[in-house]
Amino acid sequence: MDVGGSSIKAGLVDVETGHPLTPLASVATPQPATPARVMDAIVAIDRSFASSGPVGLALPSVVQQGIARTAANIDKSWLGANPAELLAARIGRPVACLNDADAAGLAEMRWGAGRGSHGVAIMLTFGTGIGSALFTDGRLLPNTELGHLEVDGRDVETWASARVRTAEALDWPAWAARVNVYLARMHALFWPDLFILGGAVSENFKAFAPLLVSPAEIRAAAFTGQAGIMGAALAASALGT
């Protein structure tokens, strides 16, 4: 399960290969996106799959020791909640919950653009905001929230996200110039070997890739809409049955 600000997506995943076992299911995220309303939607999707194994839940939140500490594009009543416990109580199966960008990063590192890479890799997802996942030799440092890095006095996701590009009608050169400023700041702080750019904007990677500049290698994410689901499934597989 992958909960976003506008939709909730789900699917069954073969965690050996990363291949989806079912077509992707998607429903609109209820508004307001309170825990109770989101859980109702998730339970309905779960019933439609008639699955029996553990469940992974990717959430747009810092998830610390199982507790939601932030609520990006979901209702603030998530703060302090334990999403895995809430869902497990509803479906009677083990649930793993993690940050949505971390989930997407796990999928890319296992099966996608980061597969076989070494050193420091940073995945950035450009959408409503900017999500991040930081890896060292394939190991995740969770909940980095590097989309909130301050650049020139601004929260960078309010300046360089895909939503802002659309809202301000920025062409690719104008938007890429902002992304380059962000990548330069990230490189100065972390010296990554690899940037993986994901989110819906990665579908247009060929349009803006020649405009990007960084000492680090830059790759397009291999997965777009399914990455969060695939990474959530990986997290679930660690729970066993």
Regarding pTM above 0.85, the answer is yes
**Could you give the CA distance from residue 99 to residue 34 in angstroms, rounded to a whole number?**
17
CATH 3.30.420.40 residue window(s) in the chain? 2-102+226-237, 116-220
Residues 6 or more apart whose CB falls under 8 angstroms from that of 31 comprise none
For residues 154-161, average pLDDT = 96
**Could you give the CA distance from residue 148 to residue 160 in angstroms, rounded to a whole number?**
11
Give per-residue pLDDT as tens, 79-110: 999 999 999 999 999 999 999 999 999 999 99
Which CATH number describes the domain made up of 2-102+226-237?
Answer: 3.30.420.40
Residues 6 or more apart whose CB falls under 8 angstroms from that of 120 comprise 134, 135, 136, 190, 191, 192, 193, 194
Outline where DSSP puts E strands in the chain.
2-3, 7-10, 25-28, 55-59, 63-64, 67-68, 95-99, 120-126, 130-136, 139-141, 150-151, 154-155, 194-198, 217-220
CATH level 2 (architecture), domain 116-220: 2-Layer Sandwich (3.30)
pLDDT at residue 167 above 90? yes
**Could you give the CA distance from residue 48 to residue 142 in angstroms, rounded to a whole number?**
31
Q: Give the pLDDT confidence score for residue 165 in this predicted structure.
A: 97
pLDDT at residue 229 above 90? yes
Give per-residue pLDDT as tens, 37-96: 999 999 999 999 988 889 999 999 999 999 999 998 899 999 999 999 999 999 999 999
Q: Give the pLDDT confidence score for residue 241 in this predicted structure.
A: 58
Give per-residue pLDDT as tens, 124-152: 999 888 999 999 999 999 999 999 999 98
> How many Cβ atoms from other residues are within 10 Å of residue 174's Cβ?
12
DSSP string for residues in 104-119 = HHHHHHHHSTTTT--S
